[in-house]
Amino acid sequence: MEVRLTPDAAQDLFGSALSPDRGFAQTLDASDALAGLRDRFELPCREGVDLIYLAGNSLGPLPTESRHAVEREVQRWASLGVDGWFENPLPWYEIDERFLAPLARVVGAEPREVAVMNGLTVNLHLMLASFYRPSGRRRRILIERPCFPSDRFVVETHLRWHGLDPASAILEVGPHDDGGPTDEADIEAALEGAGDEIALVLLGGVNFLTGQLLDLHRIATAARECGAVVGFDLAHATGNVPLRLHDWEVDFAAWCNYKYVNGGPGAPGGIFIHERHATDSRLGRLGGWWGNDPATRFRMQLDPDFAPRADAAGWQLSCPPILAMAPLGPALALFEEAGMDRLRAKSLRLTAYLEWLLAGSLGEGGEIVTPRDSERRGAQLSLRLPGRARRVHGSLQRAGVIGDYRQPDFLRLAPAPLFNTFEEMWRAAEATRIAVREAS
């Protein structure tokens, strides 16, 4: 492979050992303490050959044990029917309780601060119902640019629901140049500038398009100082980067569990509500029977008053979708086994190595828009390939390298430390170099 430009992150991590030879990648794999976890997944394959799966930022692959977990629940359904809700072992009635402690560890929370329920967009609506309380001058919502469409639609429709005009009530902060990173100082300046007009801040932890990781602690602090409520969409952050939601005093967060958490397509999402709110059962919310105290939930018409649990699970609405939830247990067990710190350490190395291998291979105008500083990104590298991203994506697919294409000219590649190898980075970079050359 040709020697190319050297982004600093890889130099910092690998020092003088860094080499473009495939053998170097193999050496890294040989000394990788997490390498064995790859065998705990059924990785997508074509004609019996594993694909190089770099799309875990869209949909994580199937943990083998999750297949069995679903089969077990199907079997319970077949043999127990309705009694499956209460019959030991592992009654469905308590299914979500199994996930709370491991999930809390992934996001840096207490178990009573998290719940598993609904889809991400639904949960963002529920969070805004509780936490967006416009009053007086304080009505505006600060969001990011580029913003995931669903988040923007949530914000716009909530504003309209309150009779407000999104054009004036939304405050957007984004990069100075299209595709560049957002400066946290600009978010702070926007908060200071708009002061008592900002009711709520809703930002992505890791931006879906650029892969930039925001300094969530810094933003949470700035929002609090300005008197605004702060919430994060952690779709691309959960299971990807270390989070300390409790310590950072984030008010709320929501995420999907089908990306880095590997919980399965459309897996129920997660919410975090800081304990200072979660334990306040008088806090306004849109309620349902599953958020009621489980001890009295089945008293039904005998106890008609809503008595929400004094934790984040008090925001649940409906009975849990058992078959959709079953994969989550084994998926989270892999995080317990690996630990977020070790996963992050490997993730930094995988991503920096891929970045280093790709540098100089992206052709005219081609660039990696994800910040070069490892502390400002998660696993994902976003490549901007003007006029040829779609073709490069197509060639990579044919070569067995699975990333994803985002209009107009972005290609996203996300190495995941639970199942990707360093040699796959080498092969993916090689395939990208060839695909770019053919598309140019």
Residues that bind ligand PLP (CB under 6 A): 119-121, 148, 150-151, 204, 208, 233, 235-236, 256, 269
Task: Name which of 169 and 237 has its Cβ closer to ligand PLP.
Answer: 237
Task: Name which of 410 and 426 has its Cβ closer to ligand PLP.
Answer: 410
State which residue has the least CB distance to ligand PLP.
121
Q: Is 268 helix (H, G, I), strand (E, B) or coil?
A: coil
Q: Which two tokens stand for residue 315?
A: 């925001």
- In the complex, the smallest distance separating the C-beta of residue 320 from ligand PLP, rounded to whole angstroms, is 16
User: What residues contact 41, with CB distance under 8 A and at least 6 apart?
Assistant: 61, 62, 63, 64, 262, 418, 419
Task: Name which of 10 and 261 has its Cβ closer to ligand PLP.
Answer: 261
User: What residues contact 376, with CB distance under 8 A and at least 6 apart?
Assistant: 181, 212, 213, 215
- In the complex, the smallest distance separating the C-beta of residue 238 from ligand PLP, rounded to whole angstroms, is 11
Q: How many CB atoms lie within 10 A of CB 50?
A: 15
Residue 90 burial class via C-beta count within 10 angstroms: exposed 0-12, middle 13-18, buried 19 and up: middle
Q: Where are the alpha helices (DSSP H) in 117-258?
A: 120-131, 149-161, 166-169, 184-194, 216-225
- In the complex, the smallest distance separating the C-beta of residue 86 from ligand PLP, rounded to whole angstroms, is 30
Task: Name which of 256 and 328 has its Cβ closer to ligand PLP.
Answer: 256
Residue 202 φ then ψ, to 5°: -130, 110
- In the complex, the smallest distance separating the C-beta of residue 2 from ligand PLP, rounded to whole angstroms, is 35
Q: Which residue has the tokens 């598993």?
A: 116
Beta bridge partners of 115: 271
- In the complex, the smallest distance separating the C-beta of residue 261 from ligand PLP, rounded to whole angstroms, is 12
Task: Name which of 382 and 421 has its Cβ closer to ligand PLP.
Answer: 382
- In the complex, the smallest distance separating the C-beta of residue 124 from ligand PLP, rounded to whole angstroms, is 7
Task: Name which of 204 and 415 has its Cβ closer to ligand PLP.
Answer: 204
252-255/229-233 β-pairing: parallel
